[in-house]
Amino acid sequence: MENIIEADFKVVQERTLDIIATEIKTIDNHVCQVALNGAIEIGAKLEEAKEKVGHGNWENWCKENLDYSKSQAERFMKISAEYGNEDSPYLSAISKTYTCTDFSISKAFRLLQVPENEIEDFVEKNDVDTMKVRELENEIKRLKQEKETADEQLENIDRLQSDLDTAMAEKEATAKLLQDLQEKQKKAENGELPDDIKAEMLERQNEIDKLKESLDKSKAKEKKLKEEKDRIEASRKEAIQEAEKKARDEAAATAQAEAEKVVADTIEQLEKETEEAKTRAAAAENMLAMSASEEVVIFKTKTADLQKMVGEIKTSIHSLSEKDPEQADKHRQVFKKVMQALYDGI
């Protein structure tokens, strides 16, 4: 019994859920890397085959020889063309933040829906690596809707600008005609024109009045068009600002939810391991009930359990700090409070 009591206690690394999850993610990343590289090579070979297949036979050849649909083959070829080309804007954009090994085939293909001139900005503003495929699809869909709305508003502005230019041209033409008529009328009043011209000018007095009225209407239309143009432009800017704010709010909400989940999971794991430690301690107490050094054994057992839990929590916080330093610091403060509470309760 004395030998048992005096034996050294060592912390044995158990296969926890965190360790298993990390191993699964590592394997998953490796699988994605192999799959994407394979898709690039398949696409290149499909391009080679397409050049050799006779015109009009491509779809049948893919079905009979590869059991691919035409859309599947085109998908592989598009991935190969963009991610297998060093000059591709898509490859350039993701290489600045990620590597191709971080992306699955599904994500790589969906990113091709983003216009070439917008892909770099899109990748910088969105954490594509951690997004699920459905989340990526929704973000791309939102981007398209914003672009369609902006394009529609720009078309309205162009249309209004065209109407405004037309109205201004009509106003200038009307003003010039009115000026000419007024000059002729002035000359007629001064007796500088023949009688037939004078008669014509008198007959056109009504036309002058109408032209003045038309000029006033043109000015009013010009003012209205300018106001409408300014209103649409302000609406467009407001819509863009609201969309950007919404995206920021959604990202913050998601990050907060994930942080709360990590904290909850950590607390749940601590409670679970605490209960397990209590169970093991109780078993140790029963086994050593007759021992004179019972308190020493219990102390060593629980100390070993506590060291194990502390080590796993520190590892978890260290792993999180590499991905999200801010959230990791929050977890670190929570853990310190828990440890301080335990210390104060001794």
pLDDT of the chain along its 346 residues, tens only?
444 444 454 555 677 888 888 877 777 666 656 776 788 888 888 988 999 998 889 999 999 998 888 888 888 888 888 877 777 777 666 665 554 444 567 777 777 778 777 877 887 778 777 778 788 888 888 888 877 887 787 787 778 777 777 777 777 777 777 777 677 666 656 655 566 665 666 666 666 677 677 767 777 777 777 777 778 777 777 777 777 777 677 766 666 666 667 666 766 776 776 677 667 666 655 655 544 455 666 677 777 777 788 788 888 887 877 888 888 788 788 878 777 777 776 6
Domain membership flag for residue 154: yes
Domain membership flag for residue 211: yes
CA angle 54, 56, 60 (to 5 degrees): 90
Are residues 285 and 170 part of one domain? yes
**Domain assignment of residue 241, given as a range:** 147-344
Radius of gyration of the chain measured on its C-alpha atoms: 38
The count of domains in the chain is: 2
The answer to whether the CB of 122 falls within 8 A of the CB of 114 is yes
The answer to whether the CB of 19 falls within 8 A of the CB of 54 is no
Domain membership flag for residue 102: yes
Domain membership flag for residue 2: no
Residue with token string 């030998």: 3
Helices (H) and strands (E) in the chain, counts: 12, 0
The answer to whether the CB of 111 falls within 8 A of the CB of 119 is yes
Residue with token string 């600002």: 241
Domain membership flag for residue 134: no
Are residues 321 and 206 part of one domain? yes
Element (DSSP H or E) covering residue 274: helix 205-287
* Cα 126 to Cα 132: distance, rounded to the nearest angstrom: 12
The answer to whether the CB of 114 falls within 8 A of the CB of 143 is yes
* Cα 271 to Cα 339: distance, rounded to the nearest angstrom: 13
* Cα 40 to Cα 109: distance, rounded to the nearest angstrom: 11
